[in-house]
Chain A
Amino acid sequence: MLETIALWLFGIGLAFDVLGCIGLVRLPDVYNRAQASTKCVTLGTTMILVATGLFGVGGNWPLFIKSILCAVFLLMTAPVGAHAICRSAYVSGVKLADVSVEDAFTQRARTIRAEHRQRAEEIERNLREVEKSEEAEA
């Protein structure tokens, strides 16, 4: 019974992995690709991990514990990483695909870019002051 459930989970997880990767190749821009690949592949790999854990139930508990630990960690971290990459992509100016209909992040991205520019100017000013003081010493 448990083995049947594990085999089904394994198979469905593999299907999710392949579909996510096909989405990674076929979709038009970074954000769509990130959406497809991250959601599908994270869920698929989590299912594979849970199936692996079910094979360890009764007799091989370390396998079970490690798999569940890895699954929980993956579920928590993979979306965070993809979100960070997408945010940095938007802030650094990667455009949306032409078929997109709505873009709600424009204003916030403009603010973030302004903050970046301000920080860069500050650093430049500090550098110039240091250069001036060095020249004065010389």
Chain B
Amino acid sequence: MSPTFLEVAMYVLIFSSLLCLDRIGRGPTAPDRAISIDTLGTIMIGFCCIMALWPTPTDSPSASPFMDYYMTIAIAWAIISFIGSLALAKYLEGRCYDA
């Protein structure tokens, strides 16, 4: 994997997370913001994938070519994001706010 491709991928994901942040900022209702936070969490897993493929400095002989502990972070992030969105849904249900 060439570093240039990874940099472009990073910029693309940064652009999408900025769009998500826009919706979090001006979403007219609370569920809008909840959905955007969920989406942002999913995009963060993509960031973790890019970091897992990022080439490591090779001056130390024992270094692995991949930083694959980032995939562990991605799994943990997926679990926590799922539980968080379920908790948000349960919290929002039955509350009346104006649309």
Contacts and interface: CB of A to CB of B under 8 A. Distances in A.
Contacts of A42: 42
A14 B12 CA distance: 7
Contacts of B17: 21
Contacts of A88: 31, 89-90, 92-94
Interface string B59-96: 00000111010011011001101100110111011111
B36 A92 contact: no
Given A33-B23, A85-B85, A38 B31 contact: no
Contacts of A92: 31, 92-97
Central interface residue in A18, A45, A66, by most chain B CB within 10 Å:
A45
Contacts of B16: 17-18, 20-21, 41
Central interface residue in A7, A22, A49, by most chain B CB within 10 Å:
A49
Contacts of B53: 52, 55
Range for the number of chain B residues in contact with chain A: 35 or more
A94 B89 contact: no
B23 A52 contact: no
Contacts, number: 170
Contact of B9 (A14, A30, A80): A14
Contacts of A84: 85-86, 89-90
Interface of A: 3, 7, 10, 13-14, 17-18, 20-22, 24-25, 30, 33-34, 37-38, 41-42, 44-45, 48-49, 51-52, 55-56, 60, 62-63, 66-67, 69-70, 73-74, 77-78, 80-82, 84-89, 91-95, 113, 116
Interface of B: 1, 5, 9, 12-13, 15-17, 19-20, 22-23, 29, 31-32, 34-36, 38-39, 42-43, 45-46, 49, 52-53, 64-66, 68, 71-72, 74-75, 78-79, 81-82, 85-86, 88-90, 92-97, 99
